[in-house]
Amino acid sequence: MRTFVASKNKIHMSKRYTITAALPYTNGPIHIGHLAGVYVPADIYSRYLRLTGNDVAFICGSDEHGVPITIKAKKEGVTPQDIVDKYHAIIKQSFIDFGISLDNYSRTTAKIHHDTAQEFFKTLYDKNEFVEEVTEQLYDEEANQFLADRFVTGTCPKCGNEEAYGDQCESCGSSLNATDLINPKSAITGNVPTLKETKHWFLPLNKHEEFLREWILKGHKKDWKPNVYGQVKSWIDDGLRPRAVTRDLDWGIPVPVEGGEGKVLYVWFDAPIGYISATKEWAEREGKNWEDYWKDEDTKLVHFIGKDNIVFHCIIFPSMLKAEGSYILPENVPANEFLNLEGQKLSTSKNWAVWLPDYLIDFPNQQDVLRYALTANAPETKDNDFTWKDFQARNNNELVAIFGNFINRVVVLTNKYYDGIIPEPSGYNTIDKETLAAVKAYPSVISSSIERYRFREASQELMNLARLGNKYLADEEPWKTIKTDEARTKTVMFVALHIASALAVLSEPFLPFTSEKLKGILNTNANNWESISTKDILISAKHQIGKAELLFSKIEDAQIEAQLEKLIASKKANEAANKVVEPQKEEIAFEDFTKLDLRVGTILEAEKMPKTKKLLVLKVDTGIDTRTIVSGIAESFSPEEVIGKRVTVLVNLAPRKLRGVESQGMILMTEDQAGHLVFVNPDNTKDGVSNGLQIS
């Protein structure tokens, strides 16, 4: 049934919306980059739509196929199913605990998804929408298998990154084919792969180029985000080419046609179909018709993704839907840019991330703090940086000092003056009327920002409403008028409670846990989005409210320092685990070793060599003599630090002039796990290790 929803200056019919959030990959938990880029904005949008009376299906699920899962499974000695079962459960529970209000969270290993994906493939196959080609693919002779993209690493032909994958360079972001890589290597054995013929089916994207140009470049020039539009335009202008939809793998959805034995659907083809299968699963459970949400022209389809998924959701998936023929196309794809962490790119492999399960443990009952911090600093138009100091400031200076402070003062004063019973106003003056009119305008202002996918802007408008409340109280000073003008105080408190009631509703998309708590304190759930702009009274006189509870608590410096230390420790542990140890050099004879004359020595004097950054000129007591040694350690040690240092010296190294100074030996150095230079030295002087003693 259609209903009419009123907002300031407009009346529109409620609509049906299908909202999708990018399927998280099940080889690890969710981190703040995922939340800021996809799940928090999608949740804000979905909650807002429900509050404004729309029919919403908010859909997501675990993406459980693909090579990284098989790699992780091999590394851990378990099956791919074990990996996806583990992380599916973790991710699903994290979303629940964090308040992501999904209508259904499914998974791509579910039977309903396998059936849906195979049926979709078969439909396109029967309509001759694929091109069948025999191509040369990289093959690992030792592993006896074709190498999927993520099983190949090599040098990116576009930026020179030596650790690019066969499908994408994570350094420059270029989309690649495995055969594009320079010096490719198998991730399984490390061998150089060969080329071997294999048959696959391709989606001829070039066939859909004109449709995409018309639909996006002309049809959505004004309403799609510039970063999305620009990337799509670049792809189309560069010329689209056929893209394989099948792969030679044993983990995935089997290709359901003759000749498909031993092949599976390519994960990029099966994953977006997961939105459809998840909707089917939800509709079956709720007694709805899933086709209404995917095939009815009155339905609005919106994809929330990160920028690395733009090509799949704006070019490939729409081409698939268009080729099938019965599906609607996305109305918008408001992709976000990336979120960095403390000035560095988020990296799951390097464990440089803030993981959602960890946050929920470290900051119990503070989901809304992270939601707000990520929204207020969302990477909507450019990459942004999350810092723990900014997180602390957003909480302490905005949520606590503005929003929480206003609500606390209103509730405390109402209980103090009127035992929690809302007073009857005695008439409004000009300031009261202007304040109440301003409150009525906020739903429209916030709606405008949300409907244009400007969630940062919307969150700040919400905070402006709390600022309005604080200013009103500060200007009207009910703690003073209670002594001189009781009637005026009642009006002021009534207006302040009206603002608090508006905040309880308008905060729900952004701060759902806070909204629920505030509604409990006010003892009311009578209002919706529309009522804030249309009703003159949001909370009635003589209504009983509850006692004051702190909505937010101050976050102390010690908590932030603990998080920063955790990041540093994680980084060091990862560096240690991944430190490359130089391979053993060629064997030498014992007689060659005995030629080296290593002695214990002490640095007596040290000074920087002029006009150089790296060199120190040292005077060293070798026990044999005192000699000059030039050492390249000036960037790691000051002259003062090394004087008196016990060192190991190679004394029979042939002299060599460096910048005009003859160096008569070498100080032995190595690096610690963090890559810092350290001396290889005999520090223990208790055992009588004196200068000049030989080391053998």
What is the three-class DSSP state of 146?
A: strand
> Is residue 62 a contact partner of residue 91, using CB atoms and an 8 Å limit?
yes
Write out the DSSP string of 354-412.
Answer: -BHHHHHHHSTT-HHHHHHHHHHT--SSS-EEE-HHHHHHIIIIIIIIIIIHHHHHHHH
Q: What is the mean pLDDT of residues 32-38?
A: 97
Write down the pTM of the prediction. Answer: 0.82
Using N-to-C axis directions, what is the helix angle for 80-98 and 367-376, rounded to 10°? Answer: 90
Can you give the pLDDT at residue 93?
A: 98
The rounded distance, in Å, linking the Cα atoms of 224 and 151 is: 35
The confidence score (pLDDT) of residue 578 equals: 61
Q: How far apart are CA 338 and CA 382, in angstroms?
A: 7
DSSP state, residue 667: E
Sequence-ordered list of residues with C-beta below 8 angstroms from that of 413, at least 6 positions apart, any chain:
478, 479, 493, 496
Exposed e or buried b for every residue in 111-136, given b needs 16+ CB within 10 A?
ebbbebbbebbeebbeeebbeeeeee
CA 522 to each of CA 205, 419, 435, 545, 551: distance values in angstroms, whole numbers, following the listed order:
56, 13, 20, 5, 13
Chain position carrying tokens 């909507």: 380
For the chain, how far is it from start to end, CA to CA, in angstroms? 90
Query: Angle at the Cα of 273 (from 270 to 274), degrees rounded to 5?
Result: 90
For tokens 């659907």, the residue is 265
Which has the closest alpha carbon to 518: 490, 555, 546, 541? Answer: 546
Would you say 691 and 602 are in contact if contact means Cβ atoms under 8 Å apart? yes
User: Which amino acid belongs to residue 602?
Assistant: T
301 vs 6 pLDDT, higher one: 301
- Cβ density class 517-528: b for 16+ within 10 Å, e for less: bbbebbebeebb
Question: For every residue of 454-467, which 3-state class applies, written as one string?
Answer: CHHHHHHHHHHHHH
The answer on pLDDT for 368 being more than 80 is yes
Q: What is the pLDDT of residue 567?
A: 92
pLDDT at 3: 33
Reference 550, options 370, 663, 412; nearest CA is 412
CB 134 within 8 A of CB 50: no
Question: How many residues does this entry show for the chain?
Answer: 696
The tokens describing 457, both together, are: 């802007």
Residue 4 — pLDDT band, cuts 50, 70, 90? Answer: very low
Measure Cα distances from 677 to 167, 465, 502, 680 in Å.
Answer: 38, 56, 61, 10
CB within 8 A of 582, min separation 6: which ones?
A: none
Residue 148 pLDDT level (bands cut at 50, 70, 90): confident
Q: Cβ distance 615 to 609 under 8 Å?
A: yes
The answer to whether the beta carbons of residues 377 and 456 sit under 8 Å apart is yes
Q: What is the pLDDT of residue 476?
A: 97
Nearest-CA neighbor of 597 among 624, 576, 573?
Answer: 624
Looking at the DSSP bridge assignments, the partners of residue 254 are 264
What sign has the CA pseudo-torsion 81, 82, 87, 88? Answer: positive
* Secondary element (H or E) of residue 16: strand 16-21
Query: Contact 306/24 with Cβ under 8 angstroms?
Result: no
Q: What share of the chain is helix, strand, coil (3-state, %, to 5)?
A: 45, 20, 35
627 with 649: CB under 8 angstroms? no
The answer to whether residue 9 scores a pLDDT higher than 80 is: no
At 336 the three-state DSSP class reads strand
Residue 582: pLDDT band with limits 50, 70, 90: low
Measured CA to CA, the distance from residue 48 to residue 595 in angstroms comes to 79
* Whether the Cβ atoms of residue 375 and residue 456 lie closer than 8 Å to each other: yes
Q: What is the pLDDT of residue 688?
A: 57
User: In the structure encoding, which two tokens stand for residue 261, read together?
Assistant: 């034995």
CA distance 14 to 53: 6
Give tens-digit pLDDT for 348-363: 878 899 999 999 999 9
Extract the tokens encoding 347.
């990296």
Tokens found for residue 538: 């949001």
Of 106-110, 173-177, 281-285, the least confident = 173-177
**The pLDDT value given to residue 622:** 92
Task: Determine contact, residues 663/594, Cβ cutoff 8 Å.
Answer: no
What are 632-667's pLDDT values in tens digits?
Answer: 999 889 999 999 899 999 999 999 988 889 999 999
Q: Tell me: the pLDDT tens digits for 378-392?
A: 999 999 999 999 999
Kindly give the pairing relationship between strand 55-62 and strand 16-21. parallel
CA-wise closest residue to 413 among 478, 352, 365, 363 = 478
Name residue 263's amino acid.
K
pLDDT at 7 over 70: no
Residue 195, pLDDT above cutoff 50:
yes
Task: DSSP letter for 254, please.
Answer: B
- Whole-number pLDDT of residue 145: 80
Could you tell me where the beta strands, DSSP code E, fall in 130-189? 131-140, 145-146, 152-155, 164-165, 182-186
Show contacts of 281-284: CB within 8 Å, 24+ apart.
Answer: 281/104, 281/106, 281/110, 281/112, 282/57, 282/59, 282/103, 282/104, 282/106, 283/57
Q: What local confidence, expressed as pLDDT, does residue 670 receive? A: 83
Number of Cβ atoms within 10 Å of the Cβ of 264? 21
Task: Please tell me the predicted confidence (pLDDT) of residue 5.
Answer: 37
Give pLDDT, residue 114.
98
Beta bridge partners of 105: 60
Instruction: Compute and round to an integer the Cα radius of gyration of the chain.
Output: 33
